[in-house]
Structure 1
Amino acid sequence: MRLRNVPGADAYLTAHPLVIKNETRYRGSWKETFEHSENPIHIEIGMGKGKFILTLAKENPNINYIGIERYSSVLVRALEHLDNDEEYKDLTNIRFICMDAKELPNVFAVGELDKIYLNFSDPWPKARHAKRRLTSREYFERYDKILAFDGVVEFKTDNKELFEFSLEQVDLAGWILLAKTFDLHNDPTLSRGNVMTEYEEKFSGLGHPIHKLIAMRQ
């Protein structure tokens, strides 16, 4: 996917008070970056324009959220929604990091996170790039290092091949599959309380079934 460069994006992120800079220095003390440090921390990796995590932060003030996005030009769009949409005004339970997900163990300490959301991640369709997929065994090993004992990973996609690959990787990583569905919006259990992303709205509107899994380590 070719990303459009957003002039001034890096400067915008640097100046924004909710974007964490020099993120590795907060390893082991992320709770202290929030007003309510007693709350659990959930992260979304690859947050796109931010609708999903902003909605969660608004609906769940008792949970602290961190949105992670690799590309500054994408993250800046999410921040514009936060800054300009009245419904997200005064959120205090959300932070953002512009970083590559492969650095997660260098940014978060053992057991520091309670949940990881992966939504419509890049499928990296070529076999030689399988290790780059956010649901590969290599990434589950990274998640293992930062999740709390009972922490979970939730993954949604419309890409059936990626979803089947992900199911295999859960097993290969030695994790437990708590739930799965190949048709989220028609699943009476997993669809309850579902918050849609921008991609989810687009693809489901085109008639694509949405797949979801929830996994935790043994």
Structure 2
Amino acid sequence: MRLRNKNWTKDYIEENSQYMINTNEKINPEKCFENKGKYFLEIGCGKGQFSIQNALKYSQNNYIAMEKETTVIGVALKKAINTFEGEFKNLKFLNKFAENLLDIFEPKSFDTIFLNFSDPWPKSKHYKKRLTYISFLEIYHQLLKDDGYIEIKTDNDKLYEFSLEEIEKSKFELIMNTNDLYSSEKLLENNIPTEYEQKFHSMGKNINKIILKKVVND
């Protein structure tokens, strides 16, 4: 569901631009952060809870929260500032579409890419727009460091099944998959939920999760 436009977000983003990545050049995450830990990208961060809580919990790591909707980025940015109650240095927001990732980021930039509750594009004619379609998986393969990971969560069972089919064609190793993340305490170890995840789980909806590892051919 698209968030209603909030007029204050554009000015708020400009006033807090130190937490935004604003450049037309290809992004090298190492140049975006003082901390030289690992680098994580969330594509479609929504209201930001997942990346914010990760940045709080793992202060040694760096997170880029990417979202195409300016209003949503503004809401996420405000949530981050309120959550940290002051300055934070290991989280940046990026207001971009995901269609041209190779034009946005340098290759081998990230240790892990997160795809949380991506648009399932349910109509069959739109299957190439799904973020787990093989062409996107090939792009992620280029953006990840060697031995990098992709973590996928979705409430949409058909997208989950579609993703598994696409993964079979890809250069990724399937490390873990479940169609019911909340069925096991072990599966939930270190799990940080998104806003959507909490909502759907509270409604009794199963949550699907997939973890992939980049395979590098010698």
Alignment TM class, shorter chain as reference: over 0.9
Is structure 2 residue 46 aligned with structure 1 residue 48? Answer: yes
Q: Is the 8 A contact 1:185 1:210 kept in 2?
A: yes
Residue in structure 2 matched with residue 12 of structure 1 by the alignment: 12
Q: Is the 8 A contact 1:54 1:88 kept in 2?
A: no
- How much has 1:176 moved relative to structure 2? 1.1
| CA distance in 2 between partners of 1:137 and 1:187 (Å) | 30
- Counterpart residue identity of residue 152, structure 2: F
Alignment partner of 1:25: what SS? Answer: coil
Q: Is the 8 A contact 1:67 1:96 kept in 2?
A: yes
Is structure 2 residue 19 aligned with structure 1 residue 21? Answer: no
- How much has 1:101 moved relative to structure 2? 0.8
- How much has 1:156 moved relative to structure 2? 0.5
- How much has 1:19 moved relative to structure 2? 0.8
Instruction: Decide which of 154, 166, 172 is 1:157's aligned counterpart.
Output: 154
Is structure 2 residue 128 aligned with structure 1 residue 131? Answer: yes
Is structure 2 residue 105 aligned with structure 1 residue 108? Answer: yes
Alignment partner of 2:145: what SS? Answer: strand
Report percent identity of matched pairs. 36
Instruction: Decide which of 174, 179, 189 is 2:171's aligned counterpart.
Output: 174
Residue in structure 1 matched with residue 143 of structure 2 by the alignment: 146
| CA distance in 1 between partners of 2:184 and 2:212 (Å) | 17
| CA distance in 2 between partners of 1:212 and 1:148 (Å) | 21
| CA distance in 1 between partners of 2:11 and 2:141 (Å) | 34
Residue in structure 1 matched with residue 30 of structure 2 by the alignment: 31
- Counterpart residue identity of residue 75, structure 1: I
Is structure 2 residue 94 aligned with structure 1 residue 97? Answer: yes
| CA distance in 1 between partners of 2:213 and 2:96 (Å) | 24
| CA distance in 2 between partners of 1:106 and 1:165 (Å) | 26
Matches within 5 A, 1:51-70: 51-70=49-68
- How much has 1:105 moved relative to structure 2? 1.1
* Unmatched runs of 5 consecutive residues or more in structure 1: none
Alignment coverage as a number of residue pairs: 214
- Counterpart residue identity of residue 40, structure 1: K
Residue in structure 1 matched with residue 76 of structure 2 by the alignment: 78
* Structure 1, 5-14 or 197-206: larger mean CA deviation: 5-14
Alignment partner of 2:168: what SS? Answer: helix
Q: Is the 8 A contact 1:58 1:88 kept in 2?
A: no
- How much has 1:88 moved relative to structure 2? 5.2
Change in Cα spacing, 1:2 to 1:197, as seen in structure 2 (3 Å) is: closer
Q: So what's the TM-score if we normalise by structure 2? A: 0.93
- Counterpart residue identity of residue 5, structure 2: N
Q: Is the 8 A contact 2:155 2:207 kept in 1?
A: yes
- How much has 1:103 moved relative to structure 2? 1.8
- How much has 1:217 moved relative to structure 2? 2.7
Q: Is the 8 A contact 2:138 2:171 kept in 1?
A: no
Name the Cα RMSD after superposition.
1.5
| CA distance in 2 between partners of 1:68 and 1:34 (Å) | 16
Alignment partner of 1:153: what SS? Answer: strand
- Counterpart residue identity of residue 99, structure 2: K
Alignment partner of 1:166: what SS? Answer: helix
